[in-house]
Amino acid sequence: MRVALFVTCVNDAVYPSTGIATVGLLERLGVEVDFPRAQTCCGQPQFNTGYRAQAEPLVRRTARAFAGYEYIVTPSGSCAAMVRDHYPAFGESALGPRTYELTEFVVDVLGVTDVGAWFPYTVTYHPSCHGLRNLRLGDRPRRLLQAVRGLELRELPGAEECCGFGGTFAVKNAEVSLAMGRDKIRNAAGTGAAVLCGADNSCLMHLGGIIRRQDAPLRPLHIAEILGATEEHPYAQEP
Amino acid sequence: MSRTHLGMPSFPPFPEAAGAAVHNATLRANLRHATHTIRDRRAVAVAELADWDRLREAGRQIKDHTLRHLDRYLEQLESAVTAAGGTVHWAADADDANRIVADLVKATGEREVVKVKSMATQEIGLNEALAAEGVSVYETDLAELIVQLGDDRPSHILVPAIHRNRGEIRDIFRAEMGNWGRAARDGLTDDPADLAEAARLHLREKFLRARVAVSGANFMVAETGTLIVFESEGNGRMCLTLPETLISVVGIEKTVPTWRDLEVFLQTLPRSSTAERMNPYTSMWTGTTDGDGPRAFHLVLLDNGRTEVLADATGRQALRCIRCSACLNVCPVYERAGGHAYGSVYPGPIGAILTPQLRGIQSEIDASLPYASTLCGACYEVCPVAIDIPEVLLHLREGVAAQGGKGHRMEKAAITAAGWVLNRPGALAAGEKLLTATRALHPKSPPGAGAWTGGRELPELPARSFRDWWRRNRR
């Protein structure tokens, strides 16, 4: 099976390790991964801020870049939701049904919940809103994490509450955004977990920024990097 | 677009007001406790119904059908109310409605009115308008009473005093009840039963004396001319039955075609709002009846911007709203900002899409409301009439961005510049290389990043981009 990796602009520029882990995980599961280099940004930041006209060329570019692929896989629930829920309004309806968020692809298309990963740390999982409510990922990410050897999953209180990122909301309404993020981190730290795992690095960028400012004992980490880690190739930095 | 006022003076933009409210520890604690309590109870009450999704869809369809044929149903309603002995008045805007009500009250010769809790009358600023005409207005809903006695503003659609705790309420009762009527007894405590008793004694005096009442309505049935009020305290029942004259001010979108349609909302409204299986006091009246209840009934049908909302194909779904407040109780932004930050009688997610449509997006507060959301979607999920609030927020943001007001010109320039790069993968790769190569030189808080770095670190940039890694390792 051959898939196109839709890495997302945030992962490309800021979190390449998530993209690399996604490639490693998919290849380990027997999938051939391609990276269409015409891809840049899906247009969500522009669209969500009210700049539909500025989003449009990026929507067209993304649709063209992935046009030939049967499966498009992305390590971002939010970008997958943009393609699935909002591209039809631009007349680009073909991409949505072929676009999968990573955990959705692994569980639903590959039919795998035990990906053979090894990650001997305590983890709590924050389900980002677009994965939770737009894509309806449900317990797929948690099922994948529960099957990871050595991993102890701690339930996150108030897991379904937004972390406060919200794209440009994080700067337009910085005070409320920070208040939401601090509450999320307090709940995560309260579980005693060493790792705060998510499936959207934009949310983790916001939470991670607060964690570093507070010097809180938590490492934000994308789920691809946990699922990508094995005993032969363990996660590089100890949380 | 026109600009109807929603009964409030000018307010600072949302980020400023919300940013201040976030640091009020008492407010945060009050809101967190209250919203989480109602949120959890609602989830239990909704989960009891196996056909909730179908009820929600039925509610959506009834409302959409009615709005599509609103002209016809309003005329049917007018005929039915008139035939049942009521009088219908049409108010194009707030000033119209206030003048009609003031004239009706003055014609009775009375100088006092009791009120049933009503969003429409708050929207038009009726209390202030009547006070200016020398008419005393007494709110009789417990929470509205607390707001009125405290010279305060409501901060929630269903629980207007949600921002107050019982200690604060006791202090307001002690200090103010005597100035408005029967004083609270000496030694009043903050025990809920004690507070309720004080309110009961204070209000009973008003109910028994009042000869004119003003209400809103949750629904109006076009086929029979029946109005329906949902309430929990019995104060509404008193106001709707004891006075001689009843004046109801109701938004035109509150119409439903038939009695049968109420079956859906009698289930979804109580469970969504107060998490009750059945509403405690549901008052229904049709015109007037000799020897029973008010002898004169006036219905003031309020437009106040609604017809223009109806003309917007995406925005009109906001008119489905049945004012249950489920979206407020589940909203993480409302929970931290509180209702006052929204600068309108309609706060929370529904306020963020209703207020800018009713008032327009010219003022700073109104232009900021569509951005008062992370688009987390919790509001849409709980809405009993399936208003896709994030969709309408995005739609309104387009209007604000196109208007190009304060801050949006710079933003547009930045987004356009970024778009140029993002539409050229070669330029993007070069830019990424430049950024990663110079990462050791980046300041911790670059100019213009203050809104991010005020409470957060910027992410550390990697040694190379993913694109670069792929080129070296896979191709």
DSSP assignment of B122-143 equals HHTTHHHHHHHTT-EEEE-SHH
The average confidence (pLDDT) of chain B is: 94
| pLDDT reported for residue B3 | 47
- The whole-number average pLDDT for the span B375-382 is 98
pLDDT tens, residue by residue, A152-187: 999 999 999 999 999 999 999 999 999 999 999 999
Q: Does A89 touch chain B (CB under 8 A)?
A: no
pLDDT tens readout for residues B335-364:
999 999 999 999 999 999 999 999 999 999
Q: Which of A40, A60, A62, A84 is the best mutation test for B, with the most CBs of B within 10 A?
A: A40
Alpha helix locations (H) across chain A?
A: 9-13, 16-28, 44-49, 52-65, 77-81, 102-104, 129, 140-146, 169-172, 174-190, 201-214, 223-227
Looking at B96-244, which runs of residues are DSSP E strands?
Answer: 112-115, 136-139, 212-215, 219-221, 226-231
Residues of chain B neighbouring A46 (CB-CB closer than 8 A): 415, 419
B54-59, Cβ contacts within 8 angstroms, sequence gap of 24 or more: B55/B264, B55/B267, B55/B268, B55/B384, B56/B268, B56/B383, B56/B384, B56/B385, B56/B386, B57/B386, B58/B264, B59/B264, B59/B265, B59/B268, B59/B320, B59/B322, B59/B384, B59/B385, B59/B386
Looking at residues B97-115, what average pLDDT do you find? 97
How far apart (Å, rounded) are the C-alpha atoms in residues B388 and B394?
Answer: 10
Residue range B123-143: mean pLDDT, rounded: 97
Search chain A and give the residue with CA nearest B429: A13
Report H helices in B225-370. Answer: 235-241, 259-273, 306-310, 326-330, 332-337, 348-359, 364-368
Q: Which residues of B touch A61 (CB under 8 A)?
A: 423
Q: Work out the average pLDDT over B109-133.
A: 97
Decide if pLDDT at B2 tops 70. no
Residues in chain B: 475
- The shortest C-alpha distance from B435 to chain A (Å) reads 9
Q: How far is CA B55 from the centre of its chain?
A: 22
**pLDDT tens, position by position, A106-134:** 999 999 999 999 999 999 999 999 999 99
Q: A92-110: per-residue pLDDT in tens?
A: 999 999 999 999 999 999 9
Cα(B420)–Cα(B470) distance, rounded to whole angstroms?
23
Which of B201, B156, B143, B152 shows the shortest CA–CA distance to B177?
B201
Q: Which residues of B touch A41 (CB under 8 A)?
A: 422
pLDDT digits (tens, 9 = 90+) for A35-72: 999 999 999 999 999 999 999 999 999 999 999 999 99
Binning pLDDT at 50, 70 and 90, where does residue B316 land?
very high
CA dist., res. B115 & res. B130, Å (int): 12
Record: fold of B1-420? Rossmann fold (3.40.50)
- DSSP letter at B408? H
* pLDDT confidence of residue B190: 96
Give the minimum alpha-carbon distance from B273 to chain A in angstroms, rounded to a whole number.
20
SS3 label, residue B203: helix
The answer to whether B162 and B339 have CB atoms below 8 angstroms apart is yes
Q: Please give the torsion angle defined by the CA atoms of residues B398, B404, B410 and B416, in that order, rounded to the nearest 10 degrees.
A: 50
CA-CA distances (angstroms) from residue B248 to B4, B217, B461? 20, 7, 62
pLDDT beyond 90 at B416: no
Global pTM value: 0.95
Determine the Cα–Cα distance for residues A135 and B93; give it in Å rounded to an integer.
Answer: 42
Identity of the residue in A133, A166, A176 whose CB atom sits nearest the CB atom of B22: A176
- The full set of domain ranges for chain A reads 2-109, 122-227
Measure B119 CA to nearest chain A CA, in Å: 27
pLDDT of B1 above 50:
no
The token pair at B424 is 């050229």
Q: Which of B403, B422, B424 is the best residue to mutate to test the A interface, defined by the most A CB atoms within 10 Å of its own CB?
A: B422
Per-residue pLDDT, B6: 54
Give the mean model confidence (pLDDT) for residues B258-271: 97
User: Considering CB atoms only, which of B22, B380, B458 is closest to A175?
Assistant: B22
**Separation of alpha carbons A166 and A152, rounded Å:** 29
- In chain B, % of residues over pLDDT 90: 87
The pLDDT, as a whole number, for residue B258 is: 98
Segment B47-82, tens digit of pLDDT: 999 999 999 999 999 999 999 999 999 999 999 999
Cβ pair B474:A35 closer than 8 A: yes
Nearest to B425 among A16, A37, A166 (CB): A37
Residues A157 and B144: their CA atoms lie apart, in Å, by 34
How far apart are the CA of A58 and the nearest CA of chain B, in angstroms?
6
Look at A50 and B397 and tell me if their CB atoms are within 8 Å.
yes
Q: Give the residues across from A99 on adjacent strands.
A: A72
The pLDDT of A61-85, averaged and rounded, is 97
Q: Is the pLDDT of residue B236 over 90?
A: yes
Could you tell me which chain B residue has the CA closest to the CA of A47? B394
Q: A174 at the B interface (CB within 8 A)?
A: yes
- Give the neighbor-by-neighbor strand order of the sheet with A219-222: A152-154, A122-126, A195-198, A219-222
Mean pLDDT, to the nearest integer, of B223-251? 97
- In b/e form, how buried is each residue of A82-103, taking b as 16+ CB within 10 angstroms? bbbebbeebebeebbebbbbbb
Q: What is the DSSP letter of A130?
A: I
Q: What are the tens digits of pLDDT across the range B9-43?
A: 579 999 999 999 999 999 999 999 999 999 999 99
Among the listed ranges B90-99, B229-238, B240-249, B405-414, which one has the minimum average pLDDT value? B405-414
Provide the ipTM. Answer: 0.97
Q: Report pLDDT for B4.
A: 54
- pLDDT for B222 equals 98
What are the domain boundaries of chain B? 1-420, 424-441+458-475
Determine the pLDDT at residue B444: 80
- How many angstroms away from the CA of A166 is the closest CA of chain B? 4
The answer to whether B55 touches B267, Cβ cutoff 8 Å, is yes
DSSP A138: T
Please identify which residue in the block is written with the tokens 């020897």.
Answer: B291
Q: Running DSSP on this structure, what letter comes out for residue B184?
A: P
Q: How many other CB atoms sit within 10 Å of the CB of residue B418?
A: 18
- Best mutation target, A74, A175, A219, to test chain B (most B CBs within 10 A): A175
Instruction: Measure the CA–CA gap between A165 and A180, rounded to whole angstroms.
Output: 8
In chain A, what residues touch B372 (CB-CB under 8 Å)? 173
**What is the structure's pLDDT at A126?**
98
Is any Cβ of chain B less than 8 angstroms from the Cβ of A214?
no
pLDDT at B449: 86
- Name the 3-class secondary structure at B284: strand
Distance CA B55, CA B263 (A): 10
The highest-level CATH class for domain A2-109 is alpha beta
